[in-house]
Structure 1
Amino acid sequence: MPEIAEVARVTHYLRQHLTGKTIGNVIAADDANVFGKVGTSGAEFERALKGRKVVTAGSQGKYFWLVMDQPPHPVMHLGMTGWVHIRGEQTAYTRYAERHKDGEEVWPPKYTKFQLETAGAPSVEVAFTDARRFSRIRLVNCPGADIRKHSPLVENGPDPVVDKDRFTEEYLRSKMKSRHVPIKALLLDQAMISGIGNWVGDEIMYQAKLHPEQYSDDFDDADITTLYNAVKYVCDTAVEKLGDSDQFPPDWLFNHRWGKGKKDSAKTLPNGEKLIFITVGGRTSCVVPGVQKKKGRTTLDSAGGTPVAKEEAKESHYFEDKKDIAEKPAKRARIAMTEKEGAKDSKKTPKVPKGSSEPIKKEKVKKEAVEEKSAGDVPALGRRRSTRLLSGV
């Protein structure tokens, strides 16, 4: 999923190629997922941009936008696979590069949601693509300087790179101390901090040498300082390099974390440190146990502890392994059936054996039925904790 660095790259190219130009033509798809879910439509988008001049482009976390010479302004989110292409320009690197046919650029690219062309010569052609349709494109009707004061940006936390005055060590400390969630889940919560996604979150935790499962309110001040510095270092570096992984420092976890599931993957760092993959906050997380030590309580400690601790684990929105979640409905069905059958049996009044003149009292029957059911009880499963981290979409 495109994160703070990828969005910075897109914004860079839009600012470079569209600033000061007038939109001559716009064609937008009638895609209710991309446009409709945020209260607009392809036709409205076309009308709003055609003939308007682009003043600049901006970004906050995973959102980016064009400031037009008059409202409304398009605010966009790349979702999981969205990207912005400029004809004749390689805006993307390997993971997002548009395939070319016989050496020729395919235009418009496949899965285009809108394309626009500037007036005059030379013209600039831009296309927004998204194969999976999780991207969001909306129009925000306000002065250009106030875009961030309106939804969806106003609901999102500060951007570690853009908002240096807002994202302070004290801000991070207050958010960590006021929440009881795995620290990586907090980093990925866009209402807390804008722009950090899965790979950036893993890199931050690795550089800080902290474990992603440890609870946010269980770090001391020294660790919080270390974490804050790691957030700044990773985000600043990734944005400075415009998300070009070929330019990332050689000691970054990013260069080695993509081996999960590959047959020939060594799953180790060059120095021999082992890599493991766990689920934290509903996301697969790459961890180096030899480097990232657990210094306090974690979700796993709580889940296996006392009833109170188990409730803490629920409140932390900790996500269990996907395989475990997938199996639970079937397990619940079996347990429900067992309990139902047991309840049926317990209601039946046993017959008096032939030849026996001793009456069976109702109280005795009830007691024996309860004891029998209790002996065969299956432990109840905890509720599935499937709260999903939102990215402000």
Structure 2
Amino acid sequence: MPEAPEVQNVLNYLQEQLQNHKITSVEISHPKLSGNMDYHEMEKKLTNQTFHKFFRHGKYLVFELDDLDWISHLRMEGKFLIEDKIPEDPKINKHIHAKFHLDNGKWLLYMDTRKFGRMQVYPRTEDYYSLPAFDKVGPDVLSDQFSAKYLHNKLKNRKCAIKTSLLNQSIVAGIGNIYADEILFDAGLDPRSISSHLDLEDCKKIVDAAKQILSESVKSGGTTIRSFEYGNHLSGTYQDSLKVHQKSEEICSRCHGTIEKVIVNQRSTYVCPACQIRK
């Protein structure tokens, strides 16, 4: 699943391509894609709307239109494509579940091989974070609201592993499996550490590492390990900077210990037990 840096790069690409363009027609072929209304109603609402502003919150894309806020979550395999024409290849076409014709003659296409992605449309508001789509979503990982004090307060009564807490989107939005491993390695904390055992200084290390690592990943186009790409087959390069994720049995770059693969709450997790403190 794309995490905050990957979604940010998708957003940047879409803003470059869609800013001030109007949707002239909409066709949704997967009814469940519309998460908060009948898909035919969504087709009607989005028709003749113009793209004005673009935001990201965690793993969500937010498009501010004329009088609507359009929210999209790509989930595992969702992708937005911008094409001059609809692909004729049936192997590709069968995975295109929404088609948006634009006033410049191009097509904005939503493709999703696993059909997990969802979209919601709401009347436009000045504060998109107040919308129902974000009722159970915490502050964005790169926002000022995600601070050491905030995180320490959220963790003080939690008995689960710290990695599990970082993956909980109601605590902080935008961190997934890859970056959780990298953040905790940078912070020098074992991902199996009990959340409530961490003190304020530990939380500061986590927050600082999260903001630094994810900001660097955004600049690198995100991390492409399996299938992530955006735009015209663009992909990220931050996988070349990973220090621990998917490096089982390799030598730790910090202490020269051996990186191990463990399971934390059913998630493959990579840790150097020699230099990541378990609390």
Shorter-chain TM range is 0.7 to 0.9
Deviation at 1:149, TM superposition (A): 0.7
Contact 1:17 1:124 in 2 (8 A): no
CA distance in 2, matches of 1:61, 1:114: 23
**Unmatched segments (≥5 aa) in structure 1:** 89-99, 260-265, 297-393
Instruction: Say if 1:85 and 1:249 are closer, same or farther in 2 by CA, change over 3 A.
Output: closer
Contact 2:148 2:200 in 1 (8 A): no
- Name the SS of the counterpart of 1:54 in structure 2: coil
Deviation at 1:21, TM superposition (A): 0.7
Deviation at 1:188, TM superposition (A): 0.6
**Unmatched segments (≥5 aa) in structure 2:** 225-235
Deviation at 1:244, TM superposition (A): 4.9
What one-letter code is carried by the residue in structure 2 that aligns with 1:45?
M
Q: 1:345-364, aligned counterparts within 5 Å?
A: none
Partner of 1:70: 67
The reply on whether 1:277 has 2:267 as its aligned counterpart is no
Measured against aligned partners, the alpha-carbon deviations of 1:309-363 in whole angstroms (never above 9, x if no partner) come to xxxxxxxxxxxxxxxxxxxxxxxxxxxxxxxxxxxxxxxxxxxxxxxxxxxxxxx
CA distance in 2, matches of 1:65, 1:211: 34
Measured against aligned partners, the alpha-carbon deviations of 1:24-78 in whole angstroms (never above 9, x if no partner) come to 122111333x32xx2323322211111111112211001112111012x321111
What one-letter code is carried by the residue in structure 1 that aligns with 2:263?
T
Deviation at 1:205, TM superposition (A): 0.9
Partner of 1:9: 9
The reply on whether 1:157 has 2:138 as its aligned counterpart is yes
Bigger relative CO (Cα 8 Å, ≥ 6 apart): 2
What one-letter code is carried by the residue in structure 1 that aligns with 2:238?
F
Contact 1:18 1:124 in 2 (8 A): no
The list of structure 1 runs, each at least 4 consecutive aligned residues, that deviate by more than 6 angstroms after superposition, is 104-108
Partner of 1:57: 54
What one-letter code is carried by the residue in structure 2 that aligns with 1:252?
L
The reply on whether 1:79 has 2:75 as its aligned counterpart is yes
- Name the SS of the counterpart of 1:152 in structure 2: helix
User: Highest CA radius of gyration, 1 or 2?
Assistant: 1
CA distance in 1, matches of 2:162, 2:55: 29
Identity across the alignment (%): 25
Aligned equivalent of 1:188, options 147, 152, 167: 167
Partner of 1:332: none
Partner of 1:337: none
Q: 1:267-306, aligned counterparts within 5 Å?
A: 267-269=249-251, 273-294=257-278, 296=279
Aligned equivalent of 2:95, options 102, 111, 123: 111
- Name the SS of the counterpart of 2:132 in structure 1: coil
Partner of 1:208: 187
Instruction: Say if 1:40 and 1:249 are closer, same or farther in 2 by CA, change over 3 A.
Output: closer
Deviation at 1:79, TM superposition (A): 1.1
TM-score (norm 1): 0.62
Contact 2:141 2:210 in 1 (8 A): yes
- More strand, by proportion: 2
Measured against aligned partners, the alpha-carbon deviations of 1:193-218 in whole angstroms (never above 9, x if no partner) come to 01111111111111112101111111
